[in-house]
Amino acid sequence: MNRIRRNDQVLVTTGKDRGKRGTVRSVYPKEQRAVVQGVNIARKHMKARDPQHAGGIIDIELPIHWSNLMVICRSCSRPTRTGFRARDDGTKVRVCKRCGEDIE
């Protein structure tokens, strides 16, 4: 199971964007990377394809390795490590290591 999922609030722990918070837009488990809103932005020179799509320099968000991210707990609002716990019905849920509450 992934520790980071789509729509999670995360904190960047290392790199040029250290300290920034953002929402996970997409996750790539095979590459162990995630795209976070407003983090790891690169500028790309785009050629105009047709009159509706103008060319120019655009900003795109590149994936960042998920070892550089910490999930922000919804109950205690602090960056935390995540663990897993099995509920009574047998489903696994992510758990905040600081406060012990479910992250789901």
CA distance 36 to 9: 9
As beta bridge partners, residue 95 has: 83, 102
- Ordered domains of the chain (ranges, CATH): 9-72 (2.30.30.30), 80-104 (no CATH)
Percent of the chain with pLDDT over 70: 99
Query: Is 1 a residue whose pLDDT tops 70?
Result: no
* Residues 39 and 12 sit within 8 Å (Cβ to Cβ): yes
d(CA 8, CA 57): 29
CA distance 66 to 79: 14
Condensed to tens digits (0 to 9), the pLDDT of residues 50-86 reads 888 888 999 999 999 999 999 999 888 899 999 999 9
